[in-house]
Amino acid sequence: MSEAPLIKLNDLTKTYGLGDAAFQALKGIDLTIRKGEFVVIMGPSGSGKSTLMNVLGCLDTPTSGHYRYEGIAVETLDADQRSLLRRYALGFIFQGFNLLARTSALENVELPLLYRGMSRKDRHEKATAALTAVGLPTKLDSTPGELSGGQQQRVAIARAIVTEPSTLFADEPTGNLDSVTTRDIIEILTRLNVDRGITVLMVTHDENVAACAKRRVVIKDGLVESDSTSP
């Protein structure tokens, strides 16, 4: 408990819709995450865990409450500032991969670097390195359609880590994958956490996947039900 928290949530809520149709997905989340942690977020369907991830990853905005990322009051940022925060500090891995279609693995991984204004040569080097790190050095020119689910997810991981983010958000990254591929992906994430010190937040249903993390946060009905750290 020596370092300042990376992420600090205070009474965070998120409501969808208005009036009678309003649905409160998050009802007041308090959560603190420190640099270098590997946190698994679990919970039943509709508990609000994905909503939490989206808000944490600045893909969505909270309705009320406070969210500090490295001391920055995220709820006060405008859309462009949130974009810049995503660009320079956050990485995402989605259940559905979300790669650009008809675009080679290399170009998909280069994309975040393009928005950083990096030169062609540097982009190419870093993207190749990232794809090598996830075990796809031979698939640089393959498009998502030519890759298996596991390979697509590795491209997505490479795209997320190519910018060397401080936090990696993974929303059910293995939800569409078989058990063998799942193990590979979890291994890559664990290595990124241990070797590079990247903070990883991962949403999962799968007990086996969750076992890789020391800290487990369980969300139920939009509230933190339990928050346990195994030794």
Site residues (CB under 8 A) for another protein? 54, 58-61, 79-80, 83-84, 86-88, 90, 92, 94, 96, 98-103, 107, 111-112, 114-117, 159, 163
Which residue, 115 or 211, has its beta carbon nearer to another protein? 115
Residue among 184, 182, 188 nearest 158 (CA): 188
Minimum distance between the CB of residue 229 and another protein, rounded to whole angstroms? Answer: 29
Pick the closer one to another protein by CB: 99 or 189.
Answer: 99
Q: How far apart are CA 29 and CA 12, in angstroms?
A: 5
H, E, C per residue of 10-44: EEEEEEECCHHHCEEEEEEEEEEEECCCEEEEECC
Minimum distance, C-beta of residue 146 to another protein, in the bound complex (Å): 14
Nearer to another protein, 48 or 112 (CB): 112
3-state secondary structure of 198: coil
Q: Shortest distance, CB of residue 50 to another protein, whole angstroms? A: 9
By C-beta, is 4 or 84 nearer to another protein? 84
Nearest residue to 29 (alpha-carbon basis) of 60, 46, 53: 53
Q: Which of 179, 182, 172, 173 is nearest to 42 (CA)?
A: 172
Query: What minimum distance in Å lies between the beta carbon of 1 and another protein?
Result: 31
Closest to another protein by CB, 113 vs 200, is: 113
C-alpha angle 169-174-180 in degrees, rounded to nearest 5: 135
- In whole angstroms, how close is the CB of 217 to another protein at the nearest point? 20
Smallest separation (angstroms) from another protein to the CB of 228: 28
* Residue 9 parent element (H or E): strand 5-16
Unique residue bearing structure tokens 């540097």:
122
Torsion sign, CA atoms 91, 96, 97, 103? negative
Nearer CB in complex with another protein: 130/213: 130
Here the tokens at position 189 are 């994430």
